[in-house]
Amino acid sequence: MLKKRIVFTLLYDCEYFVLSRNFRLQKVGKLDWLEKHYGFSHIAFYIDELVVLDVTRGQKDSSRFCANLEALTQGCFVPIAAGGGVRNVSDARRLLHSGADKVIVNTALFDNPDVLVDLTSAFGQQCIIGSVDIKKDELGNHRIYTNNGSQAVDCTPRKTLAQLPPDTIGELYLNSIDKDGTGQGYDLDLLDLLPEEWSTPVILAGGVGNSSHLIAGLHDPRVDATATAHLFNFVGDGLQKTRDAVQNDGISLATWPSLKQLALHSPPDLSLS
């Protein structure tokens, strides 16, 4: 049986890491705040992947974002996926050189889907994650939105996703704008919008308030990983307790030694910081 995964998502906006509710942003703190309350060399033992997204409105400062990304990668052994404004191979390469293992593409999926072919040719399919943000329009129909949730795609989600160039994305990050930041649980109806016989692994995002929401998402056979971006719900030992709760519910996750176990079996001068 394939292992399921827990993904922790960080949202970055002009030097600050932020909370998002229905794509409205609230500043929380800079990198030093993040390290003080989390410490990614430690919480890496309780997540399977880290996603870092530059959600800056307007002009993005890619150099500053990459500097923050590079700092986050220090001592964090889980795979890191990064995105935000990726439009071409050069944008993707800059993120990979800053410590990312995978690249996330959102708006360009639909504005210029041919870029997926270029990215896959340069880095391989498993390196590319397609990110899709969905919400209901005024008529109650699910629509894909691009450019930080400001522009709707004309076609239905199912038709739009079916038109993506084949064999160009290794995973799909499927996010609900309506549920984003509400803490009310995932919109599992989004999974019904996928094309028939969809086989690309799905990371479900948007709406997590506690471990029970992650568990509900992971129990769905169509979901390969669940993501949360809520900084305040999982501070301290929150992610550790969440992973324990998920495993205690019978969901298969990867296992590795704890920090305590490593300390007991490592040479005295081994640094875990």
* Catalytic residue numbers, as ranges: 133
Closest CA to 146 of 159, 133, 136, 157: 133
Q: How far apart are CA 52 and CA 69, in angstroms?
A: 8
What angle, rounded to 10 degrees, do the helices at 89-97 and 62-73 form? 40
CA dihedral 126, 62, 75, 204 (to 10 degrees): -50
Sign (positive or negative) of CA dihedral 177, 16, 7, 237: negative
DSSP-derived secondary structure letter, 225: E
Closest CA to 114 of 163, 150, 67: 163
Residue whose pair of structure tokens reads 């996330």 in the numeric block? 104
Q: Is 163 left (phi over 0), alpha (psi -120 to 50) or beta?
A: alpha
**8 Å CB contact between 50 and 8:** yes
Which stretches does DSSP call E strand in 108-240? 128-136, 142-146, 151-152, 171-176, 202-205, 225-228
